Amino acid sequence: MTALRFAAVAGSGLAMALAGLRWLRVAQREHYLAGAAGRFAWRWWSEGPLAIGGVALALAGVGLAWPWPGAGLATAVVVGAGPPGLGLRGRTAPLAWTRRLRTLAALVTGLELIGLATAVLAGVGPVLAAALALAVPLLVDLGCAITGPFERAAAQGHVNRAAERLRRVAPTVVAITGSYGKTGTKTYLAHLLSGSRSVLASPASFNNRAGLARAVNENLVEGTEVFVAEMGTYGPGEIAELCSWLVPDIAVITAIGPVHLERFGSEQQIVEAKAEILEKAGRAVLNVGDPRLEALAQSGEQRGQKVRRVRPLLPGDGPDLAAGLVAVRDDLDGLTLFIDGAEQARLAPGPHPANLACAVGVALELGIPVEEIVRRVGQLPPVPHRLEPLTADGGFLVLDDTYNANPSGARAALQALKRSGPTTGRRVVVTPGMVELGARQAEENALFGQAAALVADELVVVGLTNRRALLRGARTAAAGDRQRPFDVVVVRDRSEAVAWVRAHLGPDDTVLYENDLPDHYP
Amino acid sequence: MNAPPAAVAVVFGGPSPEHDVSILTGLQVARTLAGAGREVFGLYWSKTGGWYRLPAGLEAADFLDGVPSAAEELRLSVGGAAGSSGFAERGGRLGRNRPVEIEVAVNCCHGGPGEDGSLQAVFDLAGINYTGPGVAGAALGMDKLAFAGLVVDAGLPALARRLLGPSTSDPGFPGPYILKPRFGGSSLGIDVVADIGTAVARLEANSHLRQGAVIEPYRPDLFDLNIAVRLWPAPALSAIERPLRSTASAEILGYADKYVGAEGMASAPRELPARLAAPLAEAIRSAALEIARLACVRGVARIDFLSDGQSWFVNEVNTVPGSLARYLWVEPPVSFLELIDALLDEARQRPTWRPNAMGADGSVLRGAGGIAGKLG
C-alpha cells in the first residue's frame, strides 16, 4: 500500500469519526428513528450553493479515487467539515452520552471499521473508504434499525414497573392525543381538576412509551386520583401499544392536522393512528369540529362507547344546542363557554377554544360540578411557550409561541399578535417556519408568510429550512395593496434573530416568536 | 475496612405537594454546609418513595426530569438485628448491603410526610438523629383543628374553626366561609364559599377535603403576619414579615404566591420587617414564644398570624417551613450557617425519642397464667 493510499483511507476514517458525532446527534434528536439521519443529511446537503458544491466535490472524490487514490482526501475533507451550519456539538441540544447513545456509537464505529477493513483487504481501500465516509448517515440509520428492537426490550422492565404502579395506585386515566393541542388541553384540564382532585399530568416531553413509563414510575404518588397522560405518536401501532398497559378510562382527541405528515404519509393515516386511543376507553371526548372526529364519535357510539362531543365555534356562531355538547366560541374580544347549549361563562381572550372545550368536556365526565368549572375557568394558567406573553428587558412585549408547529396554531398566533400591544407600536414575527408537513410544507409556509405579512410590520425569517417558502408568501402579500410598509429580514439562526429583535424593538412594540427549530435543522 | 465517617445528610423531596419547594430548601442547606467545609451529602426522597444519595453540586434543574441521573439508590430499613436499621447502599461484601452512616439528618421535607410526623416516626425507629419537629410536634402542626384547639385553650385569640361534616348545618358563625383540608401543609384544596349548603356540597366534590375539613369565617380584610421561632440554643424570634398578595384578585395567599419565587418565599413580595404598631408587634412576639412551647417546636418553625392592623389571630404553625424560614432572621441578623448549626446542635443534644421499657420485667406475665383462662 502506498503512502497516498494509506493517507486516503486514514483521512476517510477520521472524517467518519467526525461525521459520526454529527449524525449521532441528529439521530438522538429524532428519537433514534431509523431513516432520520439519512433524511436530515439529504436536507442539509441540498440547501444552499456551498452545501451542494461540497457534496458534488465529495462524490467526485469517490469516483476519482479509483484512478487517483489521493482524490479520496477531498471527500474526507468535505465529510469531516460537514454541511455548512451543522455544528459538531450543537448549541440548542448538545449530544448527550446516554447509555443508548454509547451503544449506538459503538455499533456504528464497529460497522465503519468492518467496512474499512473489508475495503482495504479487497484492494479498493480509498474508493470504498471515501464512499463509506459519505454514507455515515446511512450507517447511523442502520445502527438505529439494529438497536431499535433491543432497546424496546430493555425498556420493557420500566414499562412493567409502571404497569404495576398503575394497578396499585389505580387512578382514573385520561389519555389525550391529537396532532396539536395536547399540552394545552392537559394544562387546562389539570387546572380545572386541581381544586377538587389530586391530579398528575404527564410532562410534555414524556409523551412516548419510555417517557410515560418514567412519568408513572417517578411521579404517580399514592393517592393520585386522576392521571392525565399525553400520548404522542410517530406512526401506526404506537398509541395502541401505550394503551395496552396505560389503559385510558377517558380518551381525548383534540385535533387532526398535518403534523409529522412525512412520517405518516397521509392525514387519513394520522386519523387512524390517533383513533387507536379510543379502542379500550369506556368514554371518549372528541372535538367534533373536525368531521373526521365526528365520524369516530359515531362509530364509538355504535360500539357502546360513551362519547362527549366538544367543539370550538367561530365568532357569530349561535350556541350549538346538541345535548351534552361543550362548545367554546371565539368572539375575538373574548371566549364564551356553552354547556348543553346554555351560556356558562365569558372569558378574556387567550385560551385556545378547542383545547378548552376538550378540557371542560373531560372535567364534566369526571363529575366536576359545572359551578366549580365555571369558577376555575376564569383563572386558566398560560400554557408555557404557547402564546405566553412576557415583557422583555427592552420593554417590548414578547409572545412566546415557540412550541407551536402547526398551521392552525400559527394562524391563531397571528390573530393574537394583531390584538396585542398598542396600535402605534410595531409588530414583528420571528419564525423558522413549520416542518414535518410532508408535501404540504412549502405551501403551508408560504401561506403563513403571506398571513404574517398582512399582520406584521416585519417578518424575520430564521435559517434555511423554510426560507424560500416564507419569502415567497410574504412577497405575494407585499405585492397586494398594503397600507403600511413591510420588511423582511433574513437571519442565519435563532441567536441572530434574538440579537436583531433586541437591537430594533422598544416599548410599545410586540414580537411573536412562532415555532423554533433545534439546530439540527438547516 | 473501616466504615466512612458519619456525615450530615440533608433530606428533601418526598411524596408531597411541596416536593419541589423541598428540593430548593434542601439544595440551599447542602450548599451552605458544603461551602463551610462540612462533611455533607444530599439524601433525596423521590415522589414515589425511593431514597437516593446525591453527588455534590446539583442544581434545581437536575431534578426537572425526576430523579437525577447521578443519584445512587439507597434502602431504608427499620428493625431487624442490631445495626441493620437505617440507610444502606448496595455493594457490601457477599452482596450484602453496606450501612450509610448518618450523623444527623437535616429534615427539609415540607407539606407532607416529613412535616406530618410519619418520616419522624421512621427515623426514630431506625435510630436516625434528625433536626426539626419530632413525631408529636409535627403531627400537631399538621392538624389544623387540634392546633386551633390548643391555641384557644391557652387563651390566645384565633378565628373560629370547626370540623365540617356532611351533616353540618350551622357552624355557629355567619358566612362567607373558607374551607380547608384539616390535614395538609399547602394551600391545595382551599375553597371560599358563600353559605353552608355550598360548603357541604364542596365537601362531596372536592377530594382534597375527604380526609377531613375545617370551616372558618372568610375574612378578606385580614392580612398575614409571619414570624419564625426557635427554642435552641435559647428561645429566639425572627423579625415579623407581612407577605403581600401579588394579585389584587387573589382571594387568599395561594401556593403560587408562596412558592413560585426561586427560594421559597425569599423572593415573594413582602414587607420585612413589617411596619406594625408596637403593641401589636409585641403581642405577636409573646404569643409566638408561647405557641413554640405549646406546640413542641424543635428546629425552626414559622407561625402565621392574621391581623387587620389592630386585632390579631393565631392562624397556623409550619414546623418545617420553606427555606427553613432563613430569610426572616434579619433583625438581629442570623446567618443561614448559624441557623443550621443550631439545628444540628439541637438534634445532637435534644433527642426526639426515648424508648422506655421500664416495668416490663415479666412480673405481669408470670402472674397471668394461661391466655385461655383470661378469655374465659
Q: How do residues B36-89 score in pLDDT, each as one tens digit?
A: 999 999 999 999 999 999 998 899 989 987 899 889 999 999 976 656 789 999
* Element holding A175 (H helix, E strand): strand A172-177
pTM of structure: 0.79
pLDDT at B255: 47
Q: Which of B206, B247, B252 to mutate against chain A (most A CBs within 10 Å)?
A: B206
Q: Considering chain A, what percentage of its residues have pLDDT values greater than 90?
A: 44
Q: Nearest chain B Cα to A221, which residue?
A: B48
CA B220 to CA B250: how far, in whole Å?
10
pLDDT tops 50 at residue B251: no
Confidence band (pLDDT; 50, 70, 90) for B248? very low
Q: Nearest chain B Cα to A211, which residue?
A: B65
Q: How do residues B201-241 score in pLDDT, each as one tens digit?
A: 999 888 889 899 999 999 999 999 999 999 999 999 999 99
Q: Terminal CA-to-CA distance of chain B, rounded, Å?
A: 58
Between A66-75, A452-461, B322-331, the lowest mean confidence (pLDDT) is in A66-75
3-state secondary structure string across A12-54: HHHHHHHHHHHHHHHHHHCCCCCCHHHHHHHHHHCCCHHHHHH
pLDDT tops 70 at residue B94: no
Domains in chain B, ordered, with CATH? 7-130 (3.40.50.20), 133-157+221-351 (3.30.470.20), 160-218 (3.30.1490.20)
**Nearest CB neighbour to A221, from listed B15, B189, B205:** B15
Phi/psi at A316 (nearest 5 deg)?
A: 90, -15
Partner-chain contact A219 B188, CB within 8 Å: no
Residue B310 near chain A (CB below 8 Å): no
pLDDT tops 60 at residue A478: yes
- Mean pLDDT of the A189-216 span: 90
Confidence band (pLDDT; 50, 70, 90) for B258? very low
Confidence band (pLDDT; 50, 70, 90) for A171? very high
Q: How do residues A408-417 score in pLDDT, each as one tens digit?
A: 888 888 888 8
pLDDT at B82: 58
Name the average pLDDT for chain B.
88
Residues of A in contact with B206 (CB under 8 A): 195-196, 372
Residue B192 near chain A (CB below 8 Å): no
- Mean pLDDT of the A62-90 span: 82
Q: Is A83 exposed, middle or buried (CB count within 10 Å of its CB: 0-12, 13-18, 19+)?
A: buried
Residues of B in contact with A225 (CB under 8 A): 207
CA distance A332 to chain B (A): 24
pLDDT at B249: 38
Partner-chain contact B15 A222, CB within 8 Å: yes
pLDDT at B328: 95
Residues of A in contact with B15 (CB under 8 A): 221-222
Residues of B in contact with A195 (CB under 8 A): 189, 191, 206, 208
Between A74-83, A337-346, A452-461, the lowest mean confidence (pLDDT) is in A74-83
- How many Cβ pairs within 8 Å bridge chains A and B? 40
**Nearest CB neighbour to A218, from listed B46, B188, B205:** B46
Whether B134 contacts B301, CB under 8 Å: no
CA A101 to CA A349: how far, in whole Å?
44
Please indicate whether residue B333 or residue A73 has the higher confidence score (pLDDT): B333
Q: Is A126 exposed, middle or buried (CB count within 10 Å of its CB: 0-12, 13-18, 19+)?
A: buried
